[in-house]
Structure 1
Amino acid sequence: MALAWCNLREISFSRLFPLEVARALSGGLTLAIAYTHSQGYIHGDVHLRNVLVKLPSSIDRFSIGQLYKEYGEPETVTITACNGKPLPPNVPAKAVIPLYLGKDAEEFSLSDARVLLGDFGEAFGFNEVRRGEDCHTPLAMRPPEARFEPQAPLSYSADIWSLATTIWEILGMKAIFSSEFATADEVVSQQIDVLGSMPVGWWNRWEERSQFFNEDGRPKEGRYVWPPINQAFEEGVQEYRRKRGRVGEFDREETAAILDLMRRMLAFRPEERPTAEEVLESEWMVKWVLPDLNKSLESK
C-alpha cells in the first residue's frame, strides 16, 4: 500500500502551487478518475481532501530511528475523562498526534507531484443505482443534477463536475463555488452567476429562485453576485498568482484553454460534459498538463 504525505487541502490552504506542479497534480488526478471510470466505478466524492500526495518510495527504507530523525518523534497527549474519574481499562492513557509530513504548496517541485486518489467510501459501480438525492459530495463540489434530478441515477458525469471544481482549486486560491456559510440554494445561485442560465426545467422547478433572481433571470438588486467564469479565473487564480510572483501565472493562450475545458466540464446538463478520457484529450491537457505530468513521473 502506498503511503501519503497529506491531502491537497492541507498543503494548499492559503498557498499556491507553482504552475508546473499545479498542472502535474491536475493531470494526475484526471488520470486517476479516468482509470476509476475505466474499471466501471464512479468515485462519488472528488474534492481536495480526498486527493493525496504520495510519499517517495525511499521512506520504505527508513529504520524507525531514521524516521524519527527525519520527521521527529511521536507527540502524545494525555487522555483524561471529562468527569474527572479514572479512565476505564479499554481507554489508552495517551494518544499520538497525527504526523504532518507535508510542506507548503509553494515549496512543491515536480518530483513531489505524485497523486493518490483516496476515500472510495462513496464510490459505486456503473450498474448500481445511486440517485442524486443520495449524493454526499460536499455541497460546493456537488453536481447540480443531484439537486434537480434527485430520483435520477448519477453517472460518470457527476465526477467530471467535481473534478472541474477540484482542478480549479488546485490552480488558484479561491474556489469557483463556495458553501462556506451558504445554503444549497445560495450555491445554486452562485452556479448561475458564474456559468449562466440553467436548464429551463430546473429553473422552473427551483421554488427558491425568487430569493436570488428576478423573473427575467437577472440577479436581484442588493445581493452579492458572483463573477462570471472568465472574471472568476482572473480574480481567484491569476491575481493571486501575480501577488505571489514566483509561482507564476497562466499566459493568455493557456488561460483560454483552461476556461474552455472548465466550461465543458461544468455544463449543467450531465450528458453534455466530456468523459474523463475526453478531458485528457483536451487542448489544455495535451499541450500543458500531460507534458508536466510526464516530467513529474520521470523525476526522482
Structure 2
Amino acid sequence: MKRIKDAFINTETLKKDREMLEKFYLSNVENLSFTNPEGYELTASRLLVDNPVESLVIIPGRGEIAHKFCELFYSLSKLKVAAVVIFARGQGSSTRVLPDRQKYHIEHFEDYAKDVTFVLDKLNIRDYNLLAFSLGGLISLDILKNQENKPKRVSLIAPYLWPYFNLKKPSLYFFISLMDLLPFTRTMYTPHGSEYKKLEFEGNHHSHDPERFNYYHNYFEKHPVYTIGGPTFHFVKEAMKKQLELFKDKFEFTIPVFCQSAGDDKVVSTKETQRFFEKHANDPVPPKFEVIENAYHDIINESDEFRIKSLTKALDFLFKN
C-alpha cells in the first residue's frame, strides 16, 4: 500500500507545479470518440502508459469531465496503470440528450450501462478492474446486475445510492414522479437546479481543499463548453427508480466490491449507502464498506488527508493479487 500512497502528490506540490501536470495531461492522455447505434457520440479519455502492469476503467460522476482526472492520471502513470475514463451520453464531451446542453437528462437509466458496455466492446476491454465515483457508482451497480461484460473487482467512492435529503423515500419519490408526469416539468430543472454557475469555495459541501476546488471550477470558466448544469426531474426519477430497484431486488454480489462513503456527504446519503451494503453481508462475495470520516462528497478533489487515504485504499483493493 505504501507504494500506491507514495504515487500521489500533495496540495503543496500542486500549487508549485500545475504547469508540469498540464503538460503531462496534454502529452499522455488520448481522447477517443465512438458513435453508438442510436447516433450518440460517446467519448472516452485514455491514459497512455508504456508497458503497463495493470489496467483500470473509470466511470465518472454526473458533472465530471476528463480534465478532472488529470492528477489521478499522473499518479496512475507512476504506478504503471493504464486507465480509461468512459463518458456515457450526457456526460463529459459525449452527446447531450436535450437540445439545451446544460440540462442533465436521461430517458432510461439503463442507457448509461449500455453506453459504457458499448465503449468497452469498442476498445476490446475484458477482465477489467473498475473504479467509479458518485453517479458512476450507481451505473456500476447496474452493470454488475444486468450486463455481460462485468469487471473482476470494483471500488466505489461516494456512490449515488440515494440523495442527501430529509424527506422520506416514499414522499420524495412521489413528488418527483408527480413532476415527471407533467410534460412541461419532466425536462425542467429540479428545485435549486440551473445552468452551470461557478461555485464559491466558502461554504461549499464538495471539498475542503481550496487549491483543488478552485482549479477545477476555474477550468470550467476557461472552457465553458464542458459545463453541465443541474438535473431534470426525469433524470432524478429514473435514478430513484434504479436506486429503489437495487434496494428491493434479490441481486447478490458475486465479485469483490469495496465501497467508501464520505462521512460528511451533503450530496449522497451515506446512511442509505451503508444500509444497502450491510443488507448484502451474507452474499456469495460480501462487499466491503467503509466511511471516510469528515470527508465531503467530492473525494477525488478533497484535501490530502481524505483524498490520498481513500484513493490509496481503492487502488490497493483493486490490484491485490
TM-score (norm 1): 0.26
Higher RCO, Cα 8 Å, sep 6+: 1
The structure with the largest alpha-carbon Rg is 1
